[in-house]
Amino acid sequence: MNAVTISGLVKAYGSHTVLPGLDLEIPTGEMFALLGPNGSGKTTLFRILATLLAPDQGSVSVGGFDVQRDPAGVRGVLGVVFQSPSLDRKLSIRENLRYAGALYNLHGTELRSRMDAALSALRLEEKADALVETLSGGQQRRTEIAKCLITQPKILLMDEPSTGLDPAARIDLWAVIAALRARTGLTVVFTSHLMDESEKADRVGILNAGRLAAAEAPANLLASAGPEVLRVATPDPQAVANWLRENRLEPHALDNEVRVGSPDAHPLAARLTASLGQAVYSTTVAKPTLEDVFLFRTGARLNE
């Protein structure tokens, strides 16, 4: 069964169509990254999945429940981690967890044992009675996740989970998520604009202008960008791009750079430099990154 099924999803704000007709299926147990720049429709899709925003057309089901016909059903199986924390800063970690549990009708020993389990899973026991406003960014994010976990969601939805975290806290966070998935088979869907983060997912969906440009395993996406990528630093991207096209390649020109996927990038670089001379400052051959994939699939850069 799919954890998430989206078909023909349309969403517009006034005359501005953000999602012009999206189809996506995420199988149960998968970790799916939704990658896209600002304005790609990522946040809108997140809010629709979280039952905070209604679709204009199409159908969206989460955990087998339709987001419009049965939002309460969706809410019952979904854990949501927001970009801006949904914690009460004036309350302690334990109090935040207790109130969150009450929203899901949890109480008594059941609630206490789940709270203890979540606190220990996220290594927050020592801070349990500290007010949230006194915690570090990483601790707050972990509290946020602990808050989700006490409801034992089947699907965890996270919006830019690494935002505001330092590298150590980031590594920490993903270790916790990996351990959870191994133990519970949780489905994880998260939005991101960070490449290294997305590579942890089973599949990466590339969202561009409200359309899914790709949804594949990171390794496949990388392979599709060519075994190697040639990056050419140049003052005249047009000339370099034209030369590459004449050689039946599909270059992507940026401001002072041209990138192209190629099976034999080293000889290509040599021929290019010999032909264009002055127009080539430097050439670099590297393994493709998801950023290259993004550029090749959408013609746009991810982080502007």
Partner 1 sequence: MNKSNLWRPAAALWHRDVVRFLRQRNRIIGALATPLVFWVLLGAGFTPSFRPDGGDPVSYLAYFFPGTLVLIMLFTAIFSTISVIEDRREGFLQGVLVAPVSPAAIVLGKFLGGTTLAVGQAILFCVLAPFAGIRFPIELLPSLALAFVLVAFSMTGLGFLVAWPMDSTQGFHAIMNIVLMPLWMVSGALFPIPPGNSVIGWLGAINPVTYGVAAIRQAMGGPEIPGVPNLGLSLAVTALFCVVTFLASLAIVLKRRKTA
Strand 2-13 to 203-208 pairing: unpaired
Name the residues that contact partner 1, by CB under 8 A. Answer: 48, 50-54, 67-68, 71-73, 75-76, 78, 80, 82, 84-88, 90-91, 95, 98-100, 102-105, 107, 147, 151
E strands, the chain, are 2-13, 16-27, 31-35, 57-62, 65-66, 78-81, 155-159, 187-192, 203-208, 211-216, 228-233, 252-253, 257-262, 282-286
Minimum Å distance from CB 75 to partner 1?
4
Minimum Å distance from CB 131 to partner 1?
8
Assess contact for 222 and 52: CB atoms under 8 A: no
Distance separating alpha carbons of residues 194 and 196, to the nearest angstrom: 6
User: Residue 84 or 120: which CB sits closer to partner 1?
Assistant: 84
User: Residue 69 or 301: which CB sits closer to partner 1?
Assistant: 69
User: Residue 34 or 156: which CB sits closer to partner 1?
Assistant: 156
User: Residue 60 or 253: which CB sits closer to partner 1?
Assistant: 60
The alpha-carbon radius of gyration of the chain (Å, integer) is: 22
User: Residue 143 or 162: which CB sits closer to partner 1?
Assistant: 143
Which positions ≥6 away from 78 have C-beta within 8 Å? 49, 50, 51, 62, 63, 153, 154, 155, 156, 157
Minimum Å distance from CB 235 to partner 1?
44
Question: What 3-state DSSP class applies to 244?
Answer: helix
Minimum Å distance from CB 3 to partner 1?
16
